[in-house]
Amino acid sequence: MTMEWSALPDFESPPVVEVAISLQFEQLELLRIPHLGVLWEVFRQDGYSRIEEHGELEPTFEEFVRMGGPRVRLRLEAFEDAPPAPRIWFLNEAKTELIQVQRDRPIVNWRQGAQSEPYPRYVHVLERFKSALSSLEKFLGLENLGRVTPTQCEITYVNHIPSGPVWFRHGDLDRVVTTWRNSYSKEYLPPLEDVTFMARYRMGGTPEKPLGRLLVTVQPAYKSGDLIPIFTMVLVARGKPEPADSTGAFQLFDHEHEWIVRGFTSLTTPEMHDVWRLKNG
């Protein structure tokens, strides 16, 4: 599929502070902690000179047969006496780009640094992901550790929406989000102090067999340092690639990106679009 990026809504100054692209696959039972150390030598050649160790994420699957949210599958270790494998972060020197690897997925993140670097756009992050996945697959082949069999594709966008000039208090969510209405049937309650917003949408395909889900959360927060009120708006698109190979995965990534961009534009008000300078939409 060839995506016409110019047809999507485009903001000159989007509030994006982090983007993550993740490909979940069948767990690589043979991948052990020493292998991750060797893998660092591969990524260090591409500028990922720092390393951190974090806890392993549980596998998550979007389901549509029964009611409820995503299904979390608990792991059973292949060898009972083997310690849990960590999730390793490989970071560049500025810590604005990182590759996360654990036994069932790579995740590539872009994060806005202390200098408030502008968002480099989806294509840049996707190319970083393709390069990381290619390096990982080559490494797995050389070490005879198994093959990547995709099960879920996931893209996450994190947005920080600071107060002013459109909204000023955490009770002003209706000035930011189009689906929230700050009104009452009876005059009794005082002005709203704050609100947390969560929504789920079936993403594309058909109602019976969608491509996946778009999950949206909005939470009140304060900017570190100057404590300016902000809303944190997170959009996650997740689904199962069909076919379950790299072609199906990257097709689904493009669909997920489109749903996030169009969904974000639909969920936010025209007044906020003016702040972010919407060029087309």
CA distance 162 to 271: 14
**Please, what is the average pLDDT of the chain?**
91
Which position has the higher pLDDT, 71 or 177? 177
pLDDT above 60 for 80: no
pLDDT of residue 270: 97
CA distance 260 to 195: 22
pLDDT above 60 for 12: yes
pLDDT of residue 83: 63
DSSP per residue, 174-222: GGTBTT-----SSS-S-S-----EEEEEEESS-SSS-SEEEEEEEEEEE
pLDDT in tens, 249-274: 999 999 999 999 999 999 999 999 99
Of 6-10, 118-122, 189-193, 220-224, the one with minimum mean pLDDT is: 6-10
pLDDT of residue 230: 98
Q: What percent of the chain has pLDDT over 90?
A: 77
Instruction: Count how many Cα atoms sit within 13 Å of the Cα of residue 239 in the half-sphere of its side chain.
Output: 30
The residue written with tokens 């600071």 in the block is 162
pLDDT of residue 232: 98
Report the predicted TM-score, pTM, of the whole model to 2 decimal places: 0.91
pLDDT of residue 207: 80
CA distance 171 to 57: 34
185-205 burial: b if 16+ Cβ within 10 Å, else e: eeeeeeeeeebebeeebbbbe
CA angle 201, 237, 18 (to 5 degrees): 130
pLDDT above 50 for 79: no
pLDDT in tens, 166-191: 999 999 999 999 999 888 899 999 99
CA distance 108 to 101: 9
